[in-house]
Amino acid sequence: MFDINLLRNDLAATAEALLKRNTVIDVAAFEAMEAERKALQIQTQDLQQQRNTLSKAVGQAKAAKDEAKAQALLAEVAAVPEKVKANEAALALIQDRVNTLLMTIPNLPQASVPIGKDSDENVEQRRWSPDNKGPRSFAFAAKDHVALGEALTTTAGAQLDFEAGVKLSGARFTVMKGPLARMHRALAQFMLDTHVNEHGFTECYVPYIVNAESMTGTGQLPKFEEDLYKVPMPADDAIEGGAIKNRYLIPTAEVSLTNLVRDTMVPLDALPMRLTAHTPCFRSEAGSYGRDTRGMIRQHQFDKVEMVYISKPEESNAMLEEMTGNAEKILQKLGLPYRVMLLCTGDMGFTAARTYDLEVWLPAQNTYREISSCSNCEAFQARRMGARFKNAAGKNEPVHTLNGSGLAVGRTLVAVMENYQNQDGSITVPEVLRPYMGGLEVIR
């Protein structure tokens, strides 16, 4: 949630900073709304005070057995509660309006984030490739993962079976079979093991269906509901205040992991927390018709190993570097060429203050494609979630939250297939995955 004090204390500068994120704040409208809220709040609290004071006096009079005085006081308060009620209702209404606005303003980018309008203005930080030789050059025409996966077969049909996905569910679903299905599983195991054994993470198994509070905590709601798959509750117990109460399929394990600290005081000595989980992710991909329609790049359901950090504010940027390094480590162990991009203001996600994307080399597309996104959300999610810790001065303060993919499993499979393909269409299994695949060296 956006920090309202920034708007109250420094409206002009804050509105200008948000402009870099393509977010327009109507300054005059906000000022008017705030003025109204302030007046109403003062008036309401005044009335509440009146009621409280008089009621307390009634109690005192009754305790003193002064019935006449009690009756006089009762006559005096009689009209107050009604006024209080009316004011409270009006105040709640305007506070809702303020709140709704706050919930739809994106996080403020850090000062060092490059200003730009879209992904073309992201800034490359570094590149990596095995022995620093650059991406492998092919002596034959490199195929994409679709051609490779459809040509590789099992007795049950293609190892990447896109038609079966369509038949079972529709577009953007894929069935994997045989060795490729196993490599997909191997990749997730390998990533999880690496983060747990080498990067100090705590492995978590988490729900894939979460409630609206969780989705609000990490920022998917209220603004991005159309991107989520909804799970309506059974009719009988779904009604709350007249509205159907939905649950949602997680679009990323970030939601489940980060919300673990929702409404909690995190002990100081528990920070930083490093949490990881392997989960499926569900995205409706509304508004991306026509983009990446071929293959496994953009699916409604995909697996991901997620990293989440819960950190002290002063450490969060260092943790972002660490987390990005963890994701890079996976690509390095797999021998996949990649580059690290610092996202510009226009390309960052709603909750992020600073984001690095990892882009892996895809030879068939002759380009780098996003395979991980690591973000420092600072206190943005923590404020929404009520995730706090007691700082050195003994004051409660929101924690900082960070999340990153480590990595997207389906896209990693695509990258391995394309980078490790052989002229005959077989795929060499990267060394680090072989222990997870019964020693298998080549997929054919």
Partner RNA sequence: GGAAGCGUGGCCGAGCGGUUGAAGGCACCGGUCUUGAAAACCGGCGACGGGGCAACCCGUUCGUGAGUUCGAAUCUCACCGCUUCCGCCA
Q: Which residues bind RNA (CB under 7 A)?
A: 4, 38, 41-42, 44-46, 48-49, 51-56, 58-60, 62-63, 74, 77-78, 80-81, 237, 240-241, 265, 388, 394-396
Smallest distance, RNA to C-beta of residue 266, A: 10
> Nearer Cβ to RNA, position 54 or 432?
54
In whole angstroms, how close is the CB of 386 to RNA at the nearest point? 8
| Between 54 and 164, CB nearer to RNA | 54
Q: Shortest gap between Cβ of 17 and RNA (angstroms)?
A: 20
Give the 3-state DSSP-derived string for the chain, with helices as H, strands as E and coil as C: CCCHHHHHHCHHHHHHHHHCCCCCCCHHHHHHHHHHHHHHHHHHHHHHHHHHHHHHHHHHHHHCCCHHHHHHHHHHHCCHHHHHHHHHHHHHHHHHHHHHHHHCCCCCCCCCCCCCCCHHHCEEEEEECHHHCCCCCCCCCCCCHHHHHHHCEECCEECEEHHHHHHHCCCCCCEECHHHHHHHHHHHHHHHHHHHHHCCCEECCCCCEEEHHHHHHCCCCCCCHHHCCEEECCHHHCEECCEECEEEECCCHHHHHHHHHCCEECCHHHCCEEEEEEEEEECCCCCCCCCCCCCCCCCCEEEEEEEEEEECHHHHHHHHHHHHHHHHHHHHHHCCCEEEEECCHHHCCCCCCEEEEEEEEECCCCEEEEEEEEEECCCHHHHHHCEEEECCCCCEEECEEEEEEEEEHHHHHHHHHHHCECCCCCEECCHHHHHHHCCCCEEC
Q: How far is the CB of 11 from RNA (least distance, A)?
A: 14
Residue among 199 and 388 whose Cβ is closer to RNA? 388
Minimum Å distance from CB 401 to RNA? 17
For RNA, which is the closer residue by CB, 58 or 231? 58
Closest approach of Cβ 94 to RNA, in Å? 12
Could you give the residue numbers annotated as active site?
A: 283, 298, 370, 373, 411
Residue with Cβ nearer RNA (72 or 123)? 72
Closest to RNA by CB, 230 vs 294, is 230
